[in-house]
Structure formats: structure tokens, C-alpha cells
Amino acid sequence: MSDTVPTFADVEAASARLRDHAKGSAVLTPLLHSPTLDRLVGATVLLKAEPLQLTGSFKFRGAFNRLVQLTPSERKAGVVAWSSGNHAQGVAAAAALLGIPAVIVMPTDAPAIKMANTKALGAEVVTYDRETEDREAIARGIAAKRGAVIVPSYDDPHIIAGQGTLGLEFMAQATSMGLMVDDVICPAGGGGLIAGVGLAVHHANPKARIYAAEPAGYDDHKRSLTSGQRERNVSSSNALCDALLTPIPGVLTWSLNRTGLSGGYAVTDAEVCKAMAFAFETLKIVVEPGGSVALAALLAGHHVVPSGGARRTVAVVLSGGNVDQATFTACLGT
């Protein structure tokens, strides 16, 4: 399935792997509901709380789904990945559970908490400079030398299918609450999460609208949806939302997102900080900057809920909670 566009059946299969493997069951994260947020927005808002997932983000889902399918010889050779932090931790955790050696190529300016957690999970970390070095070239060189398997952070069908289990879960959780999700707002970096979520959401409700949320200046999905082709970001460093600093939408993810998304929103750092503060003060949950962009888009009024007719249900993905204390307190103080 390496070059094949994943389907809803692949998401279901990934869900079974995550649920049934004796050592690798992912956490069924809660779907939060805040009457305060409902009143502010004029809709029923449900928030999928992935900061409570293993390793503190959704990334464990795709990483485990990829690694658990490796052959015995591939497991012995190990895996290599590149990431600023959340994918790194997801791969490291999955590798540790499955007894697979893992090397993670991380930028020198990655959040300290993400680098420390990756090392604590047993992975070997190789650092690089975002501005002067090519992380993929470094990773591919290591993989070639060791015969290891490369585990991409988003442009891989197994990864996309694994991330899609998040959407499968919240659609089922909403149904158990007697609700059908009409709109989804989801963070987008390389597009793996939102592509997988789209497969699950549109299976349950083909009419659902799905929107990408991105940091201003790194809104490649928003611009790509406007132009009809993949657009590249100018920079890939020194941004608050470190988890979303991919240079361009993935080839495979874009093949799904170009038709699966209804639009995109670009949010400012100030809007992200307000969303982080709201999540902490009202929802009682810590969300990292990149994990807060979907909530930021809703709170800032970028997503307009249609008036009149039946009350709409909006699902918001809080994708991760791995944030340094200094960054978190600075955002809460703004």
C-alpha cells in the first residue's frame, strides 16, 4: 500500500490494530463539550482531546499502525524518522512497544520537552539545522547505511490511515451523544491527520464540511485550495506552532485533501495564545500551539456557523499538548 491512496477500510483496519494489539492499544481520548463555547459560537462544539493520547499527541496512532506491520527482518533493522517532536515521540513510543530500534532526526531548535521525551522513550536522536541542512537527506543516509525503514510523518498511507482513527472515534462518540457532526476544524501540517480524519468523517456524513487550520505564514493548505495546486511555504522555522512547520502539503495527502476539504483558515500567534488560554482556563486541558490552531480559528471567528435552520455540530481537533513551560506561560500571559 506504499503508493496507494488509503481508503476508509484502511482506517478501520488501523483502528483494529490499535485496539487489539496486546501492548499497543491507543487511548480512547475524550470528546469534550463546553456550554461556554457553545454560547460563544452559536453551535454545539465538541473537542477531541488528543493531548491525552499516548505521547501527548495524535501521532502515536499513525506511527504504531506503520510499525506494527513491519516484517521481522524490517523490525530487526530498525526505523528512521524526521520530526520536530510529536512524530518523533510517536515513532519512539511505538518502536519501544514493539522492540524496534529507532533513530529520529530532529532540528536543533525543537522544543526541549519533545526532544527529552523522545530520548526518554529510547530512540537515538540525531540533530540538524533547519536553515542549512536537509533533514530528509540526513535520514535517508542513515537508513541506507543501516538498512532501516523510513517512517514519514504524513505522506504515507499507513500513517494517514492510523491518524484517521481519531476521526473514526469522534464520529462514533458524537453519535453516542445523539449528535451528527456537520463541520470539522482540524490542524494541518503535512496533511496526514486531516486526510485520515476526512476519510472517517465523510464515511459517516458525506455532507460534512472539513476545514484546515494553520498558522499565518504557514497556510500552505489554505493557499493550495485557492490555487488548485500544492503551494510551498517560504520559511520552515522560528514559528510558535512548531508542530505545523512542513514546507508543502504531501503528494499523497494532497490527493485526498484537494477534494476532501471545504476550505482553510490562517490564525495569528495572538489568536493561538488566546485559544491555549481558553483551553486551560475553561476546558482544563493543556494544548500546545500547533494543537490549538483549530480552536483558535473557531474562537477568532474565522469559522462562521450559518444562522437559521437546525443547530449545527462542530468538531474541533485539539491535536497535541507537548509544550515547553516557558512557551505555555508566555502564551497565557498575553
Angle of the 86-98 helix axis to the 59-67 helix axis, nearest 10: 40
CATH of domain 60-150: 3.40.50.1100
Nearest to 303 by CA among 190, 167, 183, 180: 183
Cβ(201)–Cβ(167) below 8 Å: yes
What is the pLDDT, as a whole number, of residue 144?
Answer: 97
Domain 8-57+156-332 and domain 60-150, same fold? Reply is: yes
Its sign, for the CA torsion 58, 12, 253, 166, is negative
Cβ(49)–Cβ(32) below 8 Å: yes
Cβ(47)–Cβ(316) below 8 Å: yes
Question: What architecture (CATH level 2) is domain 8-57+156-332?
Answer: 3-Layer(aba) Sandwich (3.40)
In angstroms, the Cα distances linking 236 to 36, 118, 289, 321 are 35, 21, 15, 21
- Each domain of the chain, given as residue ranges in start order, spans 8-57+156-332, 60-150
With a CB cutoff of 8 Å and minimum separation 6, the contacts of 16 are none
Cβ(267)–Cβ(216) below 8 Å: yes
- The per-residue pLDDT string of the chain (334 residues; one tens digit each, 9 = 90 and over) reads 457 999 999 999 999 999 877 555 688 999 999 999 999 999 999 999 999 999 999 999 999 999 999 999 999 999 999 998 899 999 999 999 999 999 999 999 888 888 999 999 999 999 999 888 998 999 999 999 999 999 999 999 999 999 999 999 999 999 999 999 999 999 999 999 999 999 999 999 999 999 999 999 999 999 999 999 999 998 766 689 988 988 899 999 999 999 999 999 999 999 999 999 999 999 999 999 999 999 999 999 999 988 777 899 999 999 999 999 999 999 998 7
Taking the CA atoms of residue 86, residue 90, residue 93 and residue 98 in that order, the dihedral angle to the nearest 10 degrees is -160
